[in-house]
Amino acid sequence: MNEQVVLVTGGAGYIGSHACVELLQSGYRVIVVDNLSNSKIESLSRVKQITGKTLQFYQADIRDKKALAEIFAKEPIATVMHFAGLKAVGESCEQPLNYYHNNVYGTLVLTEVMAEANVKQLVFSSSATVYGEPSCVQYVEDFPLGAVNPYGRSKAMIEDILRDLSVADKHIQTKSPWKIALLRYFNPIGAHESGMIGEDPNGIPNNLMPYVSQVAIGKLEQLAVFGDDYPTRDGTGIRDYIHVVDLVKGHIKAIDALESEKFSLGGCKAYNLGAGRGCSVLEIISAFERVTGRKVNYRVAPRRAGDLAEFFANPELALKELNWKVEKNLDDMVADTWNWQSKNPQGYV
Ligand code: NAD
Ligand code: UDP
């Protein structure tokens, strides 16, 4: 068993809570820092119930340097998994300063404290949104970046900052170099198979899968399918959906890689975490109806501004260097989403 201590920022959130389960089940000790701005503490009680293990929770904002420094002084942290951030594209266009302050400044404070504590192993939640609009729909890590909204740009800026940190090491030839994995997520959906933790969006969901499941359970009346005139196989948008449990397993593999010979001299490297195949909106609806036996009431609506027709990951680098690939299929993602939604129709409340 692994007694290494991992600090999980944003650990009470959707992906972070699943990461806590996976870390605890892999034998890590877990410390969570979360300001609960978009999550409930109940998620962490559920993590403890699922795993039968305990974790340390600090309610703090990652921008609060003093609070973070105290945690690093007290706890023997070896690695940071950095999930804390704001994530809604539309909201980021309305509140860009809030997004840059929370995501970019928050990461600056975190990495400053890490450097001062000489903790230099970091797994960062990046996003496929950093790619912008490449001409090829299967994204490879070395495609040029070009995010098109403040949320995506905040992730791209953080990637730049982390790459700069790693390059600076080479100039000063430090003995403990930064080891950083930038994990570019495609479209995480699904929930832990227990149905005890899952995605609990505030208000009306922006993303497809929580919207579909809230229509199926009767909380929302009708799904709007944003456009059926895209140049795709059925006219609706195509995305690379990935089960959240597969996604967090990728994070454990990233820690393994950062501790391997490959990163012995340090480095900062980006990896796509996706399935490598796309599903259309209509395919999601039909899988949902088939797997759950529930009808999904929908209508076709105009395209949503800023949406691309189709993109999905090329996940070969993650397979080659992290020894990771997805194990779950669309039916698993739908079944686990529904299990969570039907057991928790009001989320964690
Ligand atoms: P989430 O909102 O459920 O979780 C984020 C957590 O961070 C929340 O618990 C929130 O309270 C906390 N938080 C936010 N700002 C904080 C701050 N300043 N200090 C302390 N805690 C703070 O989101 P999620 O879906 O779990 O996403 C986790 C990460 O993955 C985010 O960085 C997000 O941008 C990234 N990501 C998510 C998706 C997705 O579709 N869910 C896709 C790509 C990347
Ligand atoms: N989508 C939709 N109706 C919704 C939400 C999303 O038709 O209510 C479509 C959207 O246009 C895209 C796909 O579903 O083609 C995935 O959208 P989501 O917001 O979940 O992810 P992202 O846009 O970040 O890829």
DSSP assignment of 65-89, as one string?
HHHHHHHHHHS-EEEEEE--S---H
Q: Which two tokens stand for residue 170?
A: 């080479």
- Architecture of the 5-190+241-273 domain: 3-Layer(aba) Sandwich (3.40)
The better pLDDT of the pair 228, 202 is held by 228
Counting residues of the chain whose pLDDT is more than 90, the rounded percentage is: 93
Model pLDDT, residue 173: 74
The question of whether 151 is a catalytic residue gets the answer yes
For 262, the 3-state DSSP assignment is helix
Number of CB atoms found within 10 A of residue 336's CB:
23
Among 29-43, 44-58, 122-136, 261-275, whose mean pLDDT is lowest?
A: 122-136
Q: Which of 254, 246, 248 is nearest to 329 (CA)?
A: 246
Whole-number Å distance, alpha carbon 341 to ligand 2 midpoint, is 19
Average pLDDT over residues 58-86: 98
Average pLDDT over residues 180-200: 98
Model pLDDT, residue 133: 81
Query: Which ligand does the CA of 280 lie closest to?
Result: 2
Query: In the CATH hierarchy, which top-level class contains the domain 208-239+276-343?
Result: alpha beta
Q: Which of 53, 57, 63, 45 is nearest to 7 (CA)?
A: 57
Average pLDDT over residues 274-283: 98
Helices 208-216 and 330-343: crossing angle in degrees, nearest 10, is 50
Residues 6+ apart with CB under 8 A from 19: 8, 11, 81, 83, 248, 251
Domain spans of the chain, in order of start: 5-190+241-273, 208-239+276-343
| Nearest protein Cα to ligand 2, atom 23 | 307
Model pLDDT, residue 349: 83
In this predicted model, what pLDDT tens digit does every residue of 81-135 receive, in sequence order?
A: 999 999 999 999 999 999 999 999 999 999 999 999 999 999 999 999 999 888 7
pLDDT-based confidence at residue 221 (cuts at 50, 70, 90): very high
| Residue 1: pLDDT over 70 | no
Give yes or no for residue 106 CB within 6 A of ligand 1: yes
Model pLDDT, residue 2: 63
Residue with tokens 């080479």: 170
* Mean pLDDT of the chain, nearest integer: 96
**What is the four-CA torsion angle of 203, 206, 212, 217, rounded to 10 degrees?**
0
Query: Which ligand does the CA of 191 lie closest to?
Result: 1
Ligand 1 atom nearest residue 38's Cα: 11
Q: For a substitution probing ligand 2, which of 304, 308, 311, 330 has the most ligand atoms within 8 Å of its CB? A: 304
On the CB side of 181, CA atoms within 13 Å amount to 28
Average pLDDT over residues 230-234: 97
| Alpha-carbon gap, residue 340 to 190, rounded angstroms | 8
Instruction: Work out the widest C-alpha separation in the chain, in whole angstroms.
Output: 61
